[in-house]
Amino acid sequence: MIRIFRPALALTAAVAASALSACAYNEALGRNQFLIVDNGSMIQQSNAAWAEALRTQNATTTGAQVDRIRNVGSRLVRVAGLDNRTWDYAVFTDASPNAFVLPSGQIGVTTGLLGLVQNDDQLAAVIGHEIAHVVANHAAERASSQAATAIGLQLGQRVAGDYGQAVGAYGGLAAQYGVLLPYSRRDELEADRLGVDYVQAAGWRPSQSVALWRLMSEQRAGSIPQFASTHPSDATRIAALEQYISSRGWS
C-alpha cells in the first residue's frame, strides 16, 4: 500500500507553483532567473548594512580617495544604466583588497585595493564587476535559491520519516557542493563578463581586468580547490576574461 503524505504534496505543489511564477528573464545575462525574494527587501537590507558599516568600520566619505572612486564609479553606473538613483561612496581602512556595491546605491572600496591597483582601469575593473552583480540581480537570485533549497530540504525530511535526519545531513552537503556553490561560481564569471562590458563602454582598457586578476593571484598565499569554493579559481577567470576580450576584439 502506497502511503500519501498530503501535507508534503501540498508543499511540493506550492514550491512548484512558486518556481513557475518566479522565473524572470534577465536581458543583461541572456537567461532566466529564479527570483522569489522581494527586491524591496534587498534594498532595505542593504541600506541597513551600509549604515552599519559606516558606523562600525573605519570609513571615510570625503577626501581625495573617495573622489577617485566616485569619478570611476559614476561613469560605470551611467553605462550600466543605474544612474536613476543617488549613489554614495566610501573608503574603508582595511588592508585586504576588496570592494562592494549594494543594490540600494552604495559603493565601498578598501584602502588595500586602492594600494594594489596600478591605475584607474584596474579600479574600474573591480567596481564594474561589483556593479554587474547588481545589474544581474545576483544577490536576490542567490537568496531565492537558498530559500528554495531550505524548503526542499524540509520537504525531504518530512517525506523520509525516520530517514529525515540523514536526508537533512546529506542533503545539506549536496545543496552546498552540488547546487549553491556552482551557481555562485557562475555568478562571478557572469559579473566578470558584464563588468568588462562596462569598463569598455566607460572608456577604460578591458585588458587591465586580466592584469588586475594576475595581481590578485600574486597576493594570495594559497587557495582552496575550486570545487569547494564559491569563486572560480584565478586561472579559470583569467582564461575566461582573455577569451571574452579577444572575442570582442578589445585590448
pLDDT tens digits, one per residue of 110-130 = 999 999 999 999 999 999 999
Strands 88-92 and 106-110: parallel
Instruction: Write down the pLDDT at residue 31.
Output: 80
DSSP symbol at 4: P
What is the DSSP secondary-structure string of 196-225?
A: HHHHHHTT--THHHHHHHHHHHHH-S----
pLDDT > 70? residue 173: no
- The SS3 of residue 146 is helix
Q: What is the pLDDT of residues 53-108, one digit of tens each?
A: 999 999 999 999 999 999 999 999 999 999 998 999 999 999 989 899 888 899 99
Going by pLDDT thresholds of 50, 70 and 90, the confidence category of residue 35 is confident
Mean pLDDT, residues 226-232: 58
Distance (Å, whole) CA 220 – CA 213: 11
Nearest to 67 by CA among 134, 123, 3: 123
Torsions phi, psi for 100 (to 5 deg)? -150, 150
Q: Report, as residue numbers or ranges, the catalytic residues.
A: 130
CATH of domain 26-248: 3.30.2010.10
Task: Give the end-to-end CA distance of the chain in Å, rounded to a whole number.
Answer: 67
Residue 183 contacts by C-beta under 8 Å, 6 or more apart in sequence? 141, 142, 145
The top-scoring range by mean pLDDT among 11-15, 96-100, 141-145, 155-159 is 96-100
